[in-house]
Amino acid sequence: MAIEATEKIRIGGLKFSDEQVLVRLPEQLAAEAELPGVLSALMQQKINVSFFCADHTVPFQAGFCLERDDLSRCRAVLEAMLAAGGPQLDIVGAVGTLIIFPHQGKLAVLGKLLGVFGRCRLPLFSLCSSLSGLAVNTGYPLLEAAAAAIQKVFVLPDNHAPFRPEPLAYPGDGSLSMSLTTPVETVASYWEPLIRIYGITRVSGLSITTVVFPETELEPLGEALQRAESGLGRFDLALMQRIDAHRFRLMIFDRGGLARSARLLPGNTDHGSGDLLSLHGPHFQDRYGVAHAAVSCLHSHGVNVRAVGCTGSSIQLAVPARIGDVAARALTDVFIVPKV
Amino acid sequence: MSDKKLILVVDDDIDLVEALAMKLESLNYAVAKAYDGVEGFDKIKTRRPDLVVLDVMMPRKDGYQLCDELKQSDDYKDIPVILLTAVTDAISSTNYTHMGGKTTLADDFVSKPIDLDKLMEIVEDNLR
């Protein structure tokens, strides 16, 4: 059933992250050939990356979120990879990730969310969808304001309050009645040579719509997405990053419907096609090296990667059309896929 | 009413809920989803599931509390509960020690990161 633009949409909830830092790579390091080295450097420093987004359309864009405590080590290894006097890392402090879920693959949900940020002039640094969530990086002090604005256009469950990261518990704090050698239900920080996941979904022949637009058009773009395909538009992956101080680039992977509605979208629109691999289950917040495993594996197999989106418990890799099967087989070098 | 067994998945990891739902539906189960213990209990009262897959650490009401409520209820104690937990090594297969010193009885558990093949086996075993 089509959703009217003025109609509130029911969602399952909101999540907030802890305070993060967003690092945007200069184009030199955002290039496809350079990303494995960047991610390897982060992995060797045992830095958890809670959000990672890369788009290898020119100008290349890549950015990630990490804990503030990890920033100095991150800067040390990445700045060593950059030429003195050239473009440097762009670092945004006090960033928070707000996630709405489930998006149900509906462009109307994406459009309403973008519309809220545009209408309320909330900072929006980047966006990426996961299997269930739409993750938006905004100012950490503004998470509550963003949540309040979102609740004017989305219906949440009764008595819902945004989920926040759980406090950690350790054996030494006296709260445990038995001795444990490991923390209870904590966020681990570990690395695995082979990463267990819950499955890989492959979708072939997706349409890729790329829109470059000024941030003043964020609300109109959101409204246009809500109207796409008469309000029934769907997407498989959405990625958005700033390409400069005033413009965004949004990539939407879908089954072709958005291309038919592209004339409604403000800004410059381009179209392409590709395959999409979605890996389910690697908890980004729980370990380091996950994005590195995926990206470097495909790189070593000679598979071009058009875009990468890592957020929540999802890794999404856009590859050229008809390469999805090859890429999925390659990924079994580093990911354990269940037989079920 | 569908003949399919209904499994309720309760976890605040939203993508895990979705991934598990996809897998369970592909195995011909019906799936209901909840993202915290309060919503989980509401879903159980609305439509009784045949089995619950339940995360431990969740907002509002954690998995231990929800499991306790179910197992102490005459109406719900027979619903199999499978706990998803990062707690390993120091626990037995069905008895857990809550941080506050309480114990709770689940029917089985699966450690995180989840071995999906094992989880599906446990689900199937508990639905026989």
Query: Best residue in A100, A132, A173 to probe B by mutation, most B CBs within 10 Å?
Result: A132
Residue type, B103: T
Helix (H) and strand (E) counts in chain A: 9, 17
Token pair, residue A97, equals 């990730």
Asked if residue A71 has pLDDT above 80, the reply is: yes
Asked if residue B96 has pLDDT above 60, the reply is: no
Residues of A in contact with B116 (CB under 8 A): 198-199, 281, 338, 340
Q: Find the mean pLDDT for residues B52-70.
A: 89
Query: Best residue in A101, A130, A131 to probe B by mutation, most B CBs within 10 Å?
Result: A131
Answer whether A193 touches B (CB < 8 Å): no
Answer whether B61 touches A (CB < 8 Å): no
Overall fold of domain B6-126: Rossmann fold (3.40.50)
Chain segment A32-64, per-residue pLDDT in tens = 999 999 999 999 999 989 999 999 999 999 999
Asked if residue A189 has pLDDT above 90, the reply is: no
Q: Find the mean pLDDT for residues B39-67.
A: 91
Q: Find the mean pLDDT for residues A62-74.
A: 95
Asked if residue A173 has pLDDT above 80, the reply is: no
A177 pLDDT tier (thresholds 50, 70, 90): very low
Cβ distance B59 to A163 less than 8 Å, yes or no, reads yes
Q: Find the mean pLDDT for residues A140-147.
A: 97
Chains A & B: contacts with CB separation below 8 Å? 113
CA R_g for chain A? 20
- Please give the DSSP secondary-structure letter assigned to residue A56: -
Cβ distance A157 to B39 less than 8 Å, yes or no, reads yes
Token pair, residue A264, equals 């409604």
Cβ distance B114 to A340 less than 8 Å, yes or no, reads no
Can you give the pLDDT at residue A330?
A: 96
Residue type, A161: A
The answer to whether A22 and A65 have CB atoms below 8 angstroms apart is yes
Q: Find the mean pLDDT for residues B3-12.
A: 94
* pTM, rounded to two decimals: 0.89
CA atoms within 13 A on the CB side of B99: 19
Answer whether B11 touches A (CB < 8 Å): no
- Give the nearest chain B residue to A164 (CA atoms): B59
Answer whether B97 touches A (CB < 8 Å): yes
ipTM here: 0.85
A127 pLDDT tier (thresholds 50, 70, 90): very high
B87 pLDDT tier (thresholds 50, 70, 90): low
| Residue B42 phi, psi dihedral angles, 5° rounding | -60, -40
Query: Best residue in B39, B116, B119, B123 to probe A by mutation, most A CBs within 10 Å?
Result: B116
Identify the CA nearest to A26 among candidates A68, A80, A62: A62
- Please state, as a whole number, how many other Cβ atoms lie within 10 Å of the Cβ of residue A30: 20
Q: Find the mean pLDDT for residues B95-110.
A: 62
Asked if residue A241 has pLDDT above 80, the reply is: yes
Residues of B in contact with A130 (CB under 8 A): 14-15
- Please state, as a whole number, how many other Cβ atoms lie within 10 Å of the Cβ of residue A21: 20
Can you give the pLDDT at residue A199?
A: 86
| DSSP per position, A11-49 | -SEEEEPPPEEEEE--HHHHSTTTHHHHHHHHHHTT---
Q: Find the mean pLDDT for residues A207-221.
A: 96
Helix (H) and strand (E) counts in chain B: 4, 7
The answer to whether A267 and A240 have CB atoms below 8 angstroms apart is no
The answer to whether A279 and A294 have CB atoms below 8 angstroms apart is yes
CA atoms within 13 A on the CB side of B94: 8
By Cβ distance, the residue of B15, B56, B89 closest to A314 is B15
Asked if residue A118 has pLDDT above 70, the reply is: yes
To the nearest 10°, the Cα dihedral for A66, A68, A73, A78?
50
What are the sequence ranges of the domains in chain B? Answer: 6-126
| Residue A115 phi, psi dihedral angles, 5° rounding | -60, -40
The answer to whether A23 and A90 have CB atoms below 8 angstroms apart is yes
Cβ distance A198 to B59 less than 8 Å, yes or no, reads no
Identify the CA nearest to B10 among candidates B66, B50, B48, B87: B66
Answer whether B90 touches A (CB < 8 Å): yes
| DSSP percent split of chain B into helix, strand, coil, nearest 5 | 35, 25, 45
Can you give the pLDDT at residue B59?
A: 79
Cβ distance A198 to B88 less than 8 Å, yes or no, reads no
Answer whether B23 touches A (CB < 8 Å): yes
Answer whether A181 touches B (CB < 8 Å): yes
Handedness of CA A112, A117, A121, A125 (dihedral sign): negative
Answer whether B94 touches A (CB < 8 Å): no
Looking at every residue in chain A, the average pLDDT score rounds to 88
Rounded Cα gap, residues B71 and B79, in angstroms: 8
Q: Find the mean pLDDT for residues A164-176.
A: 51
Answer whether A97 touches B (CB < 8 Å): no
Chain segment A291-320, per-residue pLDDT in tens = 999 999 999 999 999 999 999 889 999 999
Asked if residue A210 has pLDDT above 50, the reply is: yes
Cβ distance A313 to B117 less than 8 Å, yes or no, reads no
Classify each residue of A69-95 as buried b or exposed e, where b means 16 or more C-beta atoms within 10 Å of its C-beta: ebbebbeebbeeeeeeeeebbeebeeb
Whose tokens are 């009401």? That residue is: B61
Can you give the pLDDT at residue A283?
A: 64
Answer whether A174 touches B (CB < 8 Å): no
Overall fold of domain A10-162+208-273: VC0802-like (3.30.2130)
By Cβ distance, the residue of A157, A185, A313 closest to B16 is A313
Tell me what percent of the residues of chain A surpass a pLDDT of 70.
89
Rounded Cα gap, residues A238 and A131, in angstroms: 11
Burial class (CB in 10 A: 0-12, 13-18, 19+), A284: buried
Rounded Cα gap, residues A188 and A209, in angstroms: 37
